[in-house]
């Protein structure tokens, strides 16, 4: 159920390497590397010098692009500094994204060497939020920014529960073994809330014990989120009735909205 400790620092795939870089107080930026072309992409590089320093571990690789999940400063705030240093393109979901050179729509693709990166429009946290999904052979990964966290999800700053459920449903439909690279290290606090909602969920209890031990919990997996993330479980009657009084007459988005309000005041 729980991912190995190896995945907490870097994850190796057949043709790609993904390296988390901890930034600010609790943010994650990521370096995505295509081993065939020796090209690199930065995902949400809010502290450029820190991410560039991490890239020095891979001296054969050349920075080729920036992938931005949404326009908030703690994700897009480093883009211009990198664009002033490198002749690269910044991708994002709207012109609100600092330095954006190419706006992506749902299911648009970007090529990084042999890796095809698919943009998934995942509105809710912001209306320009993009998750980036990569499938190469049997290996799958998704960068979820502030849409999906480990055992949690982002606040609905610009969207509605309907928007967020549409976004989460896209992520739920991904293969179970897809590794989930999220934007913030909120896992322990998210799991404490998940325990508050589902007191008898043993998967949540085990994951919380693990998260307290390892500190850095990225990546998760879609399979694990289905077990431990209350926001990905609101469609289950056994969970929805823990959240809303008359769950049988409530929609999934009603339950999701109530759950988010519970989390906001937890």
Biggest CA–CA distance in the chain, Å, is 58
The residue annotated as part of the active site, out of 44, 146, 163, 254, is 146
Active site residue 75: yes
The residue annotated as part of the active site, out of 34, 70, 128, 129, is 70
Active site residue 196: no
- Pairing verdict, β 179-182 and 220-221: antiparallel
Active site residue 114: no
Active site residue 70: yes
The residue annotated as part of the active site, out of 125, 128, 129, 254, is 125
Enumerate the H helices of the chain as residue ranges. Answer: 48-55, 73-76, 79-85, 161-172, 187-197, 202-214, 222-228, 237-243, 252-264
Active site residue 57: no
Number of H helices, E strands in the chain: 9, 15
Write the CB contacts of 148 (distance below 8 Å, at least 6 apart in sequence): 122, 131, 154, 167, 168, 171, 180, 182, 225, 229, 231, 232
Active site residue 102: no
The residue annotated as part of the active site, out of 72, 128, 129, 254, is 72
CA distances from 66 to 22, 71, 77, 101 (A): 17, 13, 12, 10
The residue annotated as part of the active site, out of 34, 74, 128, 163, is 74
The residue annotated as part of the active site, out of 71, 75, 129, 254, is 75
Length of the chain, in residues: 266
Q: Tokens 């500094």 identify what position?
A: 81
Collapsed DSSP state (helix, strand, coil) of residue 227: helix
Active site residue 128: no
Cβ–Cβ contacts within 10 Å for residue 245, how many?
A: 8
Cβ–Cβ contacts within 10 Å for residue 215, how many?
A: 11
How far apart (Å, rounded) are the C-alpha atoms in residues 18 and 12? 7
Return the active site residues. Answer: 70, 72, 74-75, 125, 146, 184
């Amino acid at each position: 159920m729980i991912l190995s400790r190896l995945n907490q620092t870097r994850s190796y795939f057949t043709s790609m390497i993904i390296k988390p870089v901890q930034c600010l107080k609790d943010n994650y930026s990521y370096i995505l590397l295509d081993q065939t072309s020796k090209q690199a992409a930065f995902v949400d590089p809010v502290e450029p010098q820190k991410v560039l320093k991490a890239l020095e571990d891979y001296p054969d690789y050349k920075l080729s692009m920036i992938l931005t999940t949404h326009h908030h400063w703690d994700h897009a705030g480093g883009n211009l500094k990198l664009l002033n240093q490198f002749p690269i393109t910044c991708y994002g979901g709207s012109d609100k994204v600092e330095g954006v050179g190419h706006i992506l729509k749902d299911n648009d693709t970007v090529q990084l060497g042999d890796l095809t990166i698919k943009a998934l429009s995942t509105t809710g946290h912001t209306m320009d939020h993009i998750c980036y999904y990569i499938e190469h052979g049997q290996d799958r990964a998704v960068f979820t920014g502030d849409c999906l966290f480990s055992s949690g999800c982002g606040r609905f700053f610009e969207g509605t529960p309907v928007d967020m459920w549409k976004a989460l449903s896209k992520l739920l439909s991904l293969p179970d073994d897809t590794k989930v690279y999220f934007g913030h290290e909120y896992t322990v606090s998210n799991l404490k809330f998940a325990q508050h909602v589902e007191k008898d969920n043993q998967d949540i209890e085990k994951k919380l014990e693990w998260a307290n031990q390892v500190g850095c919990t990225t990546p998760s997996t879609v399979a694990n989120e289905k077990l431990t993330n209350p926001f990905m479980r609101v469609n289950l009657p056994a969970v929805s009735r823990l959240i809303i009084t008359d769950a049988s007459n409530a929609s999934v988005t009603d339950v999701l909205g109530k759950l988010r309000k519970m989390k906001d005041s937890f």
